[in-house]
Structure 1
């Protein structure tokens, strides 16, 4: 909680001031208050908050649209604040990639748990995305190495094991990843000698 940077996106000045006071009393650092959707997106880029509390109905672009843009340019957990809970609003919030939803008037006792849970889930998802990206890169490297082994087996009449060792040895000698050697072999930039 301490040091968590919060951006508020709320066009009602009284509600914004109340939320700001509640958050500050809970130990959060309110880094800014946006009074419309476009400003909220710009402030997320500029201020890099940890979490965004956003009204659903904002001037300009509304909350769900702003949240979608935030998810594209600078992903952050967005918790929506609204006085409305009809299915159309809930559906738009869900499709926007929201990390939470609180009904107005928001009680101080609801803020900390909502922010804590949103941040925890966001971190989990970010770690999973990173892991998926790493696994994808590993898979691509293995595919490239397999294709390069095939090229070496054909060019140099090597066994599969010897072609693998050839790539591994050259990578170790040059202190690069095996994928670098494999990519060079596949691109024809590197003419291996037996």
Structure 2
């Protein structure tokens, strides 16, 4: 499994350096860093990291605003770092999947576990989204084939099995998916 790609956005170069060394030492790929909100958002859109670790008090648009855009636009997952007292400002984002608030000072093990969990969760979500899309496509194909079967049964006095076999045979003979054959039948008979 490939390593998570991470963008770091913090106001201090020293903080970026410390965090980068922890992440690289732990096997993660730090794709880049940003020192302000606008730069962070621009780089997140261009580099498409798995996660952006963002400081809540980031200059220019602030960490909260950048986190909100990144999560809502599904650019990447976000770990926001801030003082415990600032947590309330990010409460509306904590219900979003792909967003975690971590209070300062950062706990190395907690951060690494959070990154690992976020990456695994995102991969699982993407896998489920692909599966849902495949199921939708299969269902659409079934609907088209059922409609085409009904038209063949009505217009050619075929049994359901004969109508299905005719669609299936046309599909195999022509090397065209059954859904396309069904659409052609519907177009021809559904006037």
Band of TM-score, shorter chain = 0.7 to 0.9
User: Is 1:119 aligned with 2:150?
Assistant: no
The corresponding residue for 2:174 is 174
Instruction: Give the CA deviation at 1:149.
Output: 1.1
1:124-161 Cα shifts (integer Å, max 9, x gaps): 11111111111111111111111111222222222221
The corresponding residue for 1:10 is 10
Instruction: Give the CA deviation at 1:112.
Output: 1.6
Instruction: Give the CA deviation at 1:49.
Output: 2.2
Matches within 5 A, 1:1-194: 3-71=3-71, 75-84=75-84, 88-188=88-188
Change (3 A) 1:60 1:182: farther
1:45-87 Cα shifts (integer Å, max 9, x gaps): 3223232212234344444443444346564332222213566
Segments of structure 1 that go 5 or more residues without pairing to the other structure are 190-194
Structure 1 stretch 138-147 or stretch 102-111: which is displaced more? 102-111
SS in 2 for 1:188: helix
Segments of structure 2 that go 5 or more residues without pairing to the other structure are none
The corresponding residue for 1:192 is none
TM-score (normalizing by structure 2): 0.83
Change (3 A) 1:132 1:103: same
Change (3 A) 1:62 1:184: farther
Distance of 2:85 and 2:2 partners within structure 1? 31
Please tell me whether the aligned partners of residues 55 and 81 of structure 2 are also in contact (alpha carbons under 8 angstroms).
yes
Corresponding residue pairs, total:
190
SS in 2 for 1:22: helix
Alignment root-mean-square deviation, CA: 2.7
Distance of 1:150 and 1:2 partners within structure 2? 49
Change (3 A) 1:172 1:73: farther
Distance of 1:126 and 1:39 partners within structure 2? 27
Instruction: Give the CA deviation at 1:107.
Output: 2.6
Distance of 1:2 and 1:186 partners within structure 2? 46
Instruction: Give the CA deviation at 1:121.
Output: 0.8
Change (3 A) 1:156 1:91: same
TM-score (normalizing by structure 1): 0.82
